[in-house]
Each structure stands twice: as structure tokens, then as C-alpha cells.
């Protein structure tokens, strides 16, 4: 295939996790794919977000463990250098980018002799018509690319804050935070969503920075259940982060060698905080503005995102995935949608995407994992549910780890089937917990059914098992003996909450055809 004459089966716009996954899935079907990337390969999934921030989080966690003083060991002369931390982050980023480029190169038409191919073009794309994009190449020239289908996977960028100038020198967003030259002594973070809470945790873990976390809402992670927000607030405050809630940032004044941030509060008073740097993390906006979607007659929905169906189609031969859509901004969702789109284009997808069982982890100290519905979401839908809570302190592994801060909270339908609706969990190794529940939800299992699995001991996942047992009244440790650490409640739209922790029923012994342990 020569690049100028060919009509590709698929042209992918943007090579973050979504674009890359979509291109590879189309390649699985033996298709000729062109991938256009204007910035750094990997996008926010690698360079500007997920991988970079998670590498920094891992390093900060290691540091905070090394700095502990309550475990019988004490490190001496522990120091940390910001530029060395950054170099390690860069190493992780480069490794992933190298893997991506290696694969693109392996399947390029120049080398690959098998079916299908992937052509990688570096430049910024915009639509000419429904089968053509124009790409501004790195050398300033343009190239037209023709394709039967397009996947828009151009991701998102950090939202600005009014007229505040993000100079990536003193005032940063998540794209620029790694340009800091050293740990700031004082850092203001505006926005206590996931990005804000994660970076507050990271800087607090390193112990070099006084963090001020500011949000206009009255709690952090305001879209989560109140008990989850309260848990995270306690963790952050325990690590020395100062929370400024229900606060509006009026302005940040640049002084000679510091920043003066003015916060306004609902009762009419204002506060001025002096800091050395600020991070603005008030959400993200999709990268659609330069795509010339008007040329292909596609409207952006009211909130600025692309509207897709369950098959990830925007319209006709135009598909979209990841942060440009109105679904949660997560790497796993971008990849899932992209793979679905490719399947829909070339072999018709068998089952539409189910967004109900999506799981996520917020990298805090300790981390928080979520899957499916929260209590607040059930209540908004007027869906009756039963919910059980078990504190990590009730399980052997957290006891052994001396890491008792954490919990598992599982929601099931308030009926005989007790189908799992969702889970919220906090603590070390929550990824294990969330994965097992996501898997059970995907298979539409009820609480009793999933107890047939035997969990290893001692493991964090035993806390999940005990929580499920609690839901069906078969827990080993009993809520009556540990109020506050274990409880069960029901909620329905008419009566609200009913605490069932003390409703102890003697189990009738029958010979069942199939036992639940």
C-alpha cells in the first residue's frame, strides 16, 4: 500500500490508550489502519496523566513507608530529590511509549508482510469530509488521509479556571506539574476531585510539601458516597493536608517569590493563603475544537462531548471513544470503547457495552476502589438495596500488614436473589477486592452464589468474602460484637434506612442440594 493512494479501512485520530487499542483491534481483523497522533504517543494515558501520576504515586508510597516510625524499623537520613523522582517517572513513560512505537513499527506496511497494516502519521488532524482528514505534519506540510471509517480518540485537556493563567512555572495543571524543579514548600491544589486528591496524597506522602486542597463543594470527591468522602478527608488530614471546603478561589496574585491565593467563603469572609506553587485540577474538556466537525455535520452535545450509542458510533462511519465522549474519563473505558468500535465496524459487535460494571481505583493513601452503583446513585434511582460494611481491621491480612484503615462496602438488591449492585472499598490492595466483585457483577451473580469460591488466606479478598457472608447472615465475626466495624442496613425509598445489624436469626438446618459454605 502506498500512503497517498490508499483508502484505509480505518483512520484513528489520536493515539492515547483509546486510539491505540482501537487500531490494534482493527488490525486483529486484518484491516489497514492509519493512526494520526499530533502530540506525544500515549496521550493522557501515559505522558500527561495515568501512567506518569501512578509512577509518582508508587514512588511517594514507597517513600512514606520508608519514613514510617511505628513498625520497629527506622530509616536514617532519608532524602528525596524531585529531579530524580521525575527522571524515574520519565523512564516509566518512555518505556511504555517505546512499546507502543515498537508495535506500530512492527506492523507498518514497510515491514509487515501479513494481513492488515498500521501506518503511523505524526501530525494534527482535522476533517475535510466524511472520508478524508487533513493532517498538519511536523515539518509544516499537510497530507490528506482517506478512510472508510474514523475513530475519534483525541482525548481531553485540563479545564481552565476563569482568566487564571496557567504558566506551568508557578501555576500548573496536570499536564505541567512534572515541570516543577523541586518540591514546593507550600502547594495549593484547586479541585478536590480525583486528580486533586491523588496529587494531594502524592505530595503529602513525600513529606516535603504543605498541601492546601481547595474545592467549592463541601467535601472531597463530592460525587462519591458521603462515607467515602469522609474516609478520604480523614486520610488526607491525617497526612497533614489542609482542606478548604466550600471555598471559591477569587484569584492568585503573583508576588516576587510566592503566590497569594484569595479564597472566598459562603459566610462572607475571605482568607489569603501564601504558597509557592498551585495546581489547577477542576476537571477536563474534550479535544474536539480543532477537528472541524462542522465539515462532517456532527454536533457536539450541550456539555461539549460527543454523543455515542452503545456501539460507540457517533454517526455513520464516524466512531468515538474515551475522553471525547460523555462517559467517565478512564483508560479502561477508552480502551473498551475503542475495541467495541472496531468490532462494530468490521464484524458487528455481539453485545453492547455495559457501563454499569465499570471499576476504578483512586490512588490515595490508602486507595479507594469503586465498581457499579454507589448508595447515592441507588437512592437517586429510588432503588431499594441492602448494604453491608466490614472494616479492614476485622481481617487477618490487614492486621498482619498493620494497615487497618480501610473497609469493604457491598450493595445488593433487597430481595431473595441479592444481586450485586456495586461496591466501595478503601485500603491497601483494593485492586484485588474490586476485581473479584466486578467479575461477579459481570456474571450477574448474587451474594450467596459468589460464596462458593474459596479465598486464599490470609488475603485482603477475605474481607470481601466476610462482607458477602454478612449480607446473608453467615459471617464468621458478628456485627453485634463489633458495632461500627461491621454493619448491615437496608434502604428503600419509602422508609429510608433500617439497621439490620442486630436482626440475628437462627439458621434452620436443612440438607440443601448444593451447599453454600
Which residues sit at the interface with ligand FAD, rule CB under 6 A? 13-19, 36-39, 43-45, 49-50, 53-54, 124-125, 153-156, 174, 195, 287, 290-291, 322-323, 329-332, 334
Residue 15: contacted member of ligand NAD, ligand FAD, none (CB under 5 to 8 Å, by partner type): ligand FAD
Piece of 22-30, 107-115, 261-269, 361-369 that binds ligand NAD (CB under 6 A): 361-369
Work out how close the CB of 187 gets to ligand FAD at its nearest, in angstroms, rounded to a whole number.
Answer: 15
Q: Is 457 a catalytic residue?
A: yes
Among 15, 133, 152, 190, binds ligand NAD (CB under 6 A): 190
Among 361, 373, 433, 500, binds ligand NAD (CB under 6 A): 361
Q: Is 196 annotated as a binding residue?
A: yes
Shorter beta-carbon distance to ligand FAD: residue 196 or 398 = 196
Longest Cα–Cα distance of the chain, Å, equals: 79
CA dist 144 and 202 (Å) reads 44
Residue 192: contacted member of ligand NAD, ligand FAD, none (CB under 5 to 8 Å, by partner type): ligand NAD
Coil, strand, or helix at residue 92? helix
Coil, strand, or helix at residue 462? helix
Work out how close the CB of 437 gets to ligand FAD at its nearest, in angstroms, rounded to a whole number.
Answer: 17
Residue 14: contacted member of ligand NAD, ligand FAD, none (CB under 5 to 8 Å, by partner type): ligand FAD
Tell me if 35 contacts ligand NAD by CB under 6 A.
no
> Are residues 247 and 215 in contact, defined by beta-carbon separation less than 8 angstroms?
yes
Q: Where are the beta strands (DSSP E) in 22-160?
A: 32-37, 117-129, 132-137, 142-152, 156-158
Tell me if 192 contacts ligand NAD by CB under 6 A.
yes
* Sign of the C-alpha dihedral computed for residues 42, 44, 47 and 51 taken in this order: negative
Piece of 61-69, 96-104, 285-293, 326-334 that binds ligand NAD (CB under 6 A): 326-334
Q: Is 422 annotated as a binding residue?
A: no
Residue 398: contacted member of ligand NAD, ligand FAD, none (CB under 5 to 8 Å, by partner type): none
Coil, strand, or helix at residue 417? coil
The grid coordinates listed for 309 are: 450509542
Nearest to 205 by CA among 39, 52, 356, 363: 363
Nearest to 330 by CA among 44, 54, 92, 96: 44
If you ran DSSP here, which 8-state letter would residue 67 be given?
A: T
The grid coordinates listed for 294 are: 462542522
Give me the residue label for grid cell 506496511.
109
| Selected catalytic residue, list 253, 290, 443, 457 | 457
> Are residues 464 and 441 in contact, defined by beta-carbon separation less than 8 angstroms?
no
With vertex at residue 315, the alpha carbon angle to CA 312 and CA 321, rounded to the nearest 5 degrees, is 30
Work out how close the CB of 204 gets to ligand FAD at its nearest, in angstroms, rounded to a whole number.
Answer: 16
Burial zone of 508 (CB within 10 Å; 0-12 exposed, 13-18 middle, 19+ buried): exposed
Shorter beta-carbon distance to ligand NAD: residue 190 or 471 = 190
Tell me if 232 contacts ligand NAD by CB under 6 A.
no
Binding site for ligand NAD (CB under 6 A): 190-196, 198, 215-217, 222, 249, 281-284, 328-330, 360-363
Q: Which segments are annotated as binding site?
A: 54, 154-156, 191-198, 283, 323
Amino acid at each position: 500500500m502506498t500512503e497517498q493512494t490508499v483508502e484505509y479501512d480505518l483512520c484513528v485520530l489520536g493515539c492515547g490508550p483509546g486510539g491505540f487499542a482501537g487500531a490494534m483491534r482493527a488490525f486483529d481483523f486484518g484491516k489497514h489502519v492509519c493512526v494520526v497522533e499530533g502530540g506525544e504517543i500515549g496521550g493522557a494515558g501515559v505522558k500527561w496523566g495515568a501512567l506518569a501520576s501512578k509512577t509518582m504515586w508508587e514512588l511517594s508510597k514507597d517513600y512514606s513507608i520508608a519514613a514510617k516510625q511505628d513498625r520497629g524499623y527506622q530509616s536514617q537520613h532519608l532524602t528525596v530529590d524531585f529531579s530524580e523522582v521525575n527522571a524515574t517517572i520519565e523512564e516509566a513513560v518512555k518505556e511504555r511509549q517505546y512499546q507502543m512505537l515498537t508495535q506500530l513499527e512492527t506492523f507498518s506496511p514497510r515491514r509487515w508482510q501479513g494481513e492488515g497494516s498500521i501506518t503511523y502519521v505524526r501530525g494534527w488532524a482535522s476533517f475535510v469530509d466524511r472520508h478524508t482528514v487533513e493532517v498538519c505534519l511536523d515539518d509544516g506540510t499537510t497530507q490528506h488521509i482517506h478512510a472508510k471509517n474514523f475513530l475519534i480518540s483525541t482525548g481531553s485537556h485540563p479545564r481552565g479556571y476563569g482568566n487564571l493563567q496557567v504558566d506551568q512555572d508557578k501555576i500548573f495543571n496536570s499536564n505541567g506539574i512534572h515541570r516543577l524543579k523541586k518540591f514546593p514548600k507550600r502547594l495549593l491544589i484547586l479541585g478536590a476531585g480525583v486528580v486533586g486528591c491523588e496529587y494531594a496524597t502524592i505530595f503529602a506522602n513525600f513529606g516535603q510539601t504543605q498541601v492546601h486542597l481547595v474545592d467549592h463543594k463541601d467535601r472531597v470527591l463530592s460525587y462519591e458516597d458521603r462515607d467515602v468522602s469522609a474516609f478520604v478527608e480523614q486520610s488526607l488530614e491525617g497526612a497533614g493536608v489542609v482542606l478548604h471546603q466550600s471555598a471559591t478561589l477569587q484569584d492568585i496574585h503573583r508576588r516576587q517569590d510566592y503566590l497569594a491565593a484569595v479564597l472566598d467563603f459562603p459566610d462572607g469572609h475571605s482568607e489569603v493563603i501564601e504558597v509557592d506553587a498551585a495546581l489547577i485540577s477542576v476537571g477536563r474538556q474534550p479535544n474536539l475544537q480543532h477537528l472541524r466537525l462542522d465539515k462532517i455535520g456532527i454536533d457536539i452535545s450541550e456539555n461539549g462531548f460527543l454523543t455515542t450509542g452503545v456501539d460507540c458510533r457517533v454517526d455513520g462511519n464516524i466512531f468515538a471513544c474515551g475522553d471525547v465522549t460523555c462517559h467517565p474519563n478512564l483508560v479502561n473505558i477508552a480502551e473498551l470503547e475503542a475495541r467495541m468500535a472496531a468490532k462494530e465496524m468490521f464484524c458487528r459487535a455481539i453485545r453492547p457495552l455495559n457501563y454499569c460494571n465499570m471499576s476504578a481505583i483512586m490512588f490515595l493513601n490508602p486507595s479507594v476502589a469503586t465498581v457499579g452503583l454507589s448508595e447515592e446513585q441507588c437512592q437517586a434511582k429510588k432503588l431499594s438495596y441492602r448494604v453491608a460494611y466490614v472494616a479492614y481491621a476485622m481481617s487477618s491480612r490487614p492486621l498482619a500488614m498493620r494497615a487497618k484503615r480501610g473497609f469493604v462496602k457491598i450493595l445488593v438488591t433487597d430481595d431473595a436473589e441479592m444481586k450485586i449492585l456495586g461496591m466501595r472499598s478503601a485500603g491497601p490492595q483494593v485492586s484485588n477486592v474490586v476485581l473479584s466483585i466486578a467479575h461477579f457483577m459481570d456474571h450477574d451473580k448474587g451474594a450467596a452464589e459468589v460464596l462458593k469460591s474459596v479465598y486464599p488466606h490470609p488475603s485482603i479478598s477475605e474481607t470481601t468474602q466476610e462482607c458477602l457472608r454478612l449480607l446473608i447472615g453467615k459471617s464468621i465475626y458478628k456485627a453485634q460484637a463489633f458495632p461500627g466495624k461491621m454493619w448491615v442496613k437496608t434502604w428503600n425509598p419509602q422508609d429510608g434506612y433500617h439497621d439490620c445489624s442486630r436482626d440475628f436469626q437462627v439458621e434452620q438446618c436443612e440438607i440443601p442440594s448444593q451447599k453454600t459454605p
